[in-house]
Chains A and B, each alone.
Chain A
Amino acid sequence: MMMTMDPDLKELQKRTKRYWYTDGLHEIAFGFICVVLSLYFLAQVLLPLDSLLANLLTAGFVLLVLGSAFLTRWIVTAIKERLTYPRTGYVSYAKPGARQNWLAAILGLLFATLLVAFFATHPASLAWMSAASGLVFAAVWAVLANRLGLSRFYLLAGAALIFGAIPTLTGMQEILGLATFYGLIGPAMFVSGGLTLKSYLENTQPATED
């Protein structure tokens, strides 16, 4: 019995780990953040450098990103409580420990510092900014796809590579390139999440415990 159960148990655990992504809401929310970023970069290109709005946008960039992330997380949780949990059940995942948070923060800071230093010393490489963004997105999705067994994330990884390469290969100005990259990858996530949500709703019905 045990020998035949083992692979099933692994699949069972994998399915539980990827349950957060089962309804596509996470992609839709992340797509929204990408569209916000795209509009931000587009505003940077279109607005005069010394305009009040451009200065406000630059100063509020971190707030804009953190605010969008917080808002979308709150909305996703609220929708899951009404839509997902009554249909297929509630699962909560362990929050990363303080050590993991510190490690992620240090690695993130190190990566950002290296990136800024590289672009500062090699100005021509700024043209590769959208391609580099696409590469980072693709790497994250490929890792998630492999770890969770979610094949649609491989498609998103491929899309990120292509959308990141387009502005670079067409010689687009770097900020406009970033606006284009986020403007393409955001809707791609809407489509991926939307189709997943549609399929989820078609295949599940609200249930109660009794």
Chain B
Amino acid sequence: LSDELRSLTDIDRLIHEPARLMIVAILYTVESADFLYIKRETQLTKGNLSSHLSRLEDAGYIEIEKTYQGKVPLTICHLTETGRQAFETYRDQIKSFVDHTLD
């Protein structure tokens, strides 16, 4: 196996999953975003999104804050430093793999 292929075996599977990758990619560009925004952008169902957010929260990649805006419940998510570093590492690994192995 080449180094590039071998590096793929170390890839962070938690972020690699497409739905979670979209969530992390959104949160990487902002300070925070709420459940409604992420749901609209990812087109995930409420249940699916909740499940993915919980997995990311359990891994310490995101923090979730439940609050209210008037009487409307608001779930605000933001990427932790661990999550930010995990996304950057993942992005670098994929980029390196694509650069070295594909035309």
Mark A residues whose CB is within 8 Å of B. 1-3, 5-6, 9, 12-13, 15-17, 19, 81, 85-86, 88-95, 207-210
Contact B25 A93 (CB under 8 A): no
- Does B69 sit at the interface, judged by CB under 8 A? yes
Mark B residues whose CB is within 8 Å of A. 16, 18, 21-22, 25-26, 28-41, 46, 69, 72-76, 94, 98, 102
Bound-complex Cα distance A3 to B74 (A): 34
Chief secondary structure at chain A's binding surface = helix
Tell me the total A-B contact number using a CB cutoff of 8 A. Answer: 79
Whole-angstrom distance from the CB of B28 to the nearest CB of chain A?
A: 7
Contact A89 B37 (CB under 8 A): yes
Contact A16 B34 (CB under 8 A): no
Out of A3, A9, A90, A94, which one reaches B34, CB within 8 Å?
A: A90
Given A9-B25, A12-B25, check contact A90 B72 (CB 8 Å): no
Bound-complex Cα distance A95 to B39 (A): 24
| CB pairs A–B below 8 angstroms (23 shown) | A1-B18, A2-B16, A3-B102, A5-B18, A9-B22, A9-B25, A12-B22, A13-B25, A81-B69, A85-B69, A88-B36, A89-B36, A89-B39, A90-B34, A90-B69, A90-B76, A91-B37, A95-B31, A209-B34, A209-B35, A209-B36, A209-B75, A210-B46
User: Which chain A positions have C-beta within 8 A of B22?
Assistant: 9, 12
User: Which chain A positions have C-beta within 8 A of B40?
Assistant: 88-89
Contact B73 A13 (CB under 8 A): no
Contact A92 B73 (CB under 8 A): no
Out of A13, A91, A209, which one reaches B32, CB within 8 Å?
A: A91
User: Which chain A positions have C-beta within 8 A of B41?
Assistant: 12, 15-16
Contact A86 B30 (CB under 8 A): no
Contact A90 B36 (CB under 8 A): yes
